[in-house]
Structure 1
Amino acid sequence: MSLSNNMFHGEIPQELGRLFRLQVLYFDNNTMAGEFPINVTSCSNLFYLSFSNNHLAGKIPMEIGSLRKLEKLYLAFNNFTGQIPSSMWNLSSLNHLAFPYNNLEGSIPKEIGYLRKLTSFFVGANKLSGPIPSSLYNMSSLTKIVVSSNQFNGSLPTNMFTNLPNLQWLELGGNQFSGPIPTSIVSATTLVKLSMSENHFTGEAPNLGKLHQVSILQLDSNDLGRNSGTDMEFLNFLSNCSKLEFLTINDNNFGGHLPNTIGNLSTQLRLLFLEHNQISGKIPEPIGNLINLTLLHMEMNYFTGIIPSTFAKFQKMQFLSLSRNKLSGDMTHFIDGFSVNNLIGFGSFGSIYKGTFESQEVVAIKVINLEITGAHKSFVVECDALRNAKH
Structure 2
Amino acid sequence: NQTELRTLVLNKARISDTISDWFWQLSLTLDELDVAYNELRGRVPNSLGFNFPAKVDLSFNNFEGRLLLWSFNVTKLYLRDNSFSGLIPNDIGQNLPFLTDLGNLKQLITLVISNNNLSGEIPLLFSNISFLYILDMSNNSLSGSTPESIGSLRTVKFLVLRNNYLSGKLPLSLKNCTFQES
TM-score of Structure 1 vs Structure 2, range by shorter chain: 0.7 to 0.9
Q: Flag structure 1 segments of 5+ consecutive residues without an equivalent.
A: 1-89, 271-292, 295-391
2:14 aligns with: 103
Structure 1 runs (4+) deviating above 6 angstroms are none
Identity, in percent, stands at 27
How many residue pairs get aligned? The number is 169
Q: Distance in 2 between matches of 1:174 and 1:206?
A: 21
**Paired residue for 2:169?**
257
CA deviation digits over 1:96-135, x for unaligned, max 9? 1101012101212443341423221000000000111232
Equivalent residues in 2 for 1:58-69, closer than 5 Å: none
Q: What CA distance in whole angstroms lies between the structure 2 residues aligned with 1:175 and 1:261?
A: 31
Alignment match, 2:132: 214
Scaled by the length of structure 1, what TM-score is found? 0.41
Normalized per residue, the structure richer in helix is 1
Distance 1:146 1:193 in 2: 11
Shift of 1:209: 2.1
Q: Residue 165 of structure 2 aligns to a residue in which SS?
A: coil
1:1-391 equivalence runs, <5 A: 90-111=1-22, 112-136=24-48, 139-141=49-51, 143-156=54-67, 160-161=69-70, 164-182=71-89, 183-184=91-92, 186=102, 187-207=104-124, 208-226=126-144, 231-232=145-146, 234=147, 236-264=148-176, 266-267=177-178, 269-270=179-180, 293-294=181-182
Q: For 1:201-236, what per-residue CA distance to the aligned partner results, in whole angstroms no more than 9, with x for missing partners?
A: 01110122211111010000000014xxxx12x2x2
Is the CA contact (8 Å cut-off) linking 1:110 and 1:134 kept in structure 2?
no
Q: Deviations over 1:297-329 (max 9, x none)?
A: xxxxxxxxxxxxxxxxxxxxxxxxxxxxxxxxx
Structural RMSD (CA): 1.8
Structure 1 residues 132-165: Cα deviation after superposition (integer angstroms, max 9, x where no partner): 12323xx1436111000001111136xx44xx12
| Conserved 8 A contact 2:66-2:85 | yes
Gaps of 5+ in 2: 94-101
- Identify the structure with the greater strand proportion: 2
> Conserved in 2, the CA contact under 8 Å of 1:110 and 1:133?
no
Q: Normalising by structure 2, report the TM-score.
A: 0.85
Is the partner of 2:168 in helix, strand or coil?
strand
Paired with 2:139 and 2:83, the residues of 1 have a C-alpha distance of 11
Flag the structure with more relative contact order, 1 or 2, with Cα contacts below 8 A and sequence separation at least 6: 2
Q: Secondary structure at the match of 1:239?
A: helix
In the alignment, the residues of structure 2 paired with residue 209 and residue 109 of structure 1 have an alpha-carbon distance, to the nearest angstrom, of 37
